[in-house]
Homo-oligomer: A and B are copies of this chain.
Amino acid sequence: MHTHSEENYLKSIFKLSQLGRKKVSVKAIADALGNNPASVIDMLKKLTDKNLITYEKTSGAQLEAEGLAAAVNVVRRHRLWEVFLKEKLEYSWAEVHEIAEQLEHIRPLDLADRLDKYLGFPEFDPHGDPIPDAKGKLQDTKRMTLSEIECGQVCRVVAVKDTSTDFLSYLQQLDIGIGTQLTVIEKINFDNSVKLCMPNGVITTVSKKFAESLMVA
């Protein structure tokens, strides 16, 4: 099928396009993969030749049907292996990702289906992300505001309700953006403020107003 590297690019484009706009910039991909933008261009050309993506100079990359299917499949394999590593081999939440990065490329494709069955068809990976089914259908996660999330739950930012500069710059200051994973540590009854754990482990408390302005899934 596709090389490991091609799969990694497709996965990155998929994840980035899930967040922001449809067209994914070269820089975004380069940052996501830790590669040089020049290398990204090389690969985008290759993926275009294979009809996996649409890409024209200066515009961003966008997945074609076949590329999308391949990307979702990689995500599926990745998340299934994460469940395996966590549930069966007792790896911690933090360790599973890196190992799954390798396991996600193992062939044949029916390996994922067997693993899926063996694991009891899990719907979410250890990070709370939904696992696409064998047909590539992604659970559509219900969107809600951060204020509705229960204590201890993990969610990720999917949109903002308030687009004021004040709110956006505050988000930027907190290093929260579309896609950021947030864990709700505590909900303060007194004023409905919410204590959050950031992906890097930093703990922040945000106000009720803030929590009601952020859409998560």
Interface status of A114 (Cβ within 8 A of chain B): yes
CA distance A91 to B90 in the complex (A): 23
- Shortest CB-to-CB span from A85 to chain B, Å, is 8
A115 touches B99 (CB 8 A): no
For A90, list chain B residues within 8 Å (CB): 114
Q: 1/0 per position for A77-109, CB-CB distance to B under 8 A?
A: 000000000001111000000010011001110
CA distance A108 to B88 in the complex (A): 16
CA distance A108 to B118 in the complex (A): 23
For A65, list chain B residues within 8 Å (CB): none
CA distance A69 to B91 in the complex (A): 25
Contact of A106 among B88, B102, B107, B115 (CB under 8 A): B102
- Shortest CB-to-CB span from A77 to chain B, Å, is 12
Contact of A108 among B99, B103, B107, B115 (CB under 8 A): B99
Closest to A102 in B: B106
- Shortest CB-to-CB span from A84 to chain B, Å, is 9
A99 touches B103 (CB 8 A): no
Contact of A99 among B91, B102, B111 (CB under 8 A): B111
B106 touches A91 (CB 8 A): no
- Given A89-B114, A89-B115, A114-B90: A106 in contact with B103 (beta carbons within 8 A): yes
CA distance A123 to B76 in the complex (A): 32
For A91, list chain B residues within 8 Å (CB): 114
Would you give 8 A-B contacts (Cβ < 8 Å), ordered by A?
Answer: A89-B115, A89-B118, A90-B114, A99-B107, A99-B108, A102-B106, A103-B103, A106-B106
Apart from A99-B106, A99-B108: 14 A-B pairs, beta carbons within 8 A: A88-B118, A89-B111, A89-B114, A89-B115, A89-B118, A90-B114, A91-B114, A99-B107, A99-B111, A102-B106, A102-B107, A103-B103, A103-B106, A106-B106
5 interchain residue pairs of minimum CB distance: A89-B114, A102-B106, A88-B118, A89-B118, A103-B106
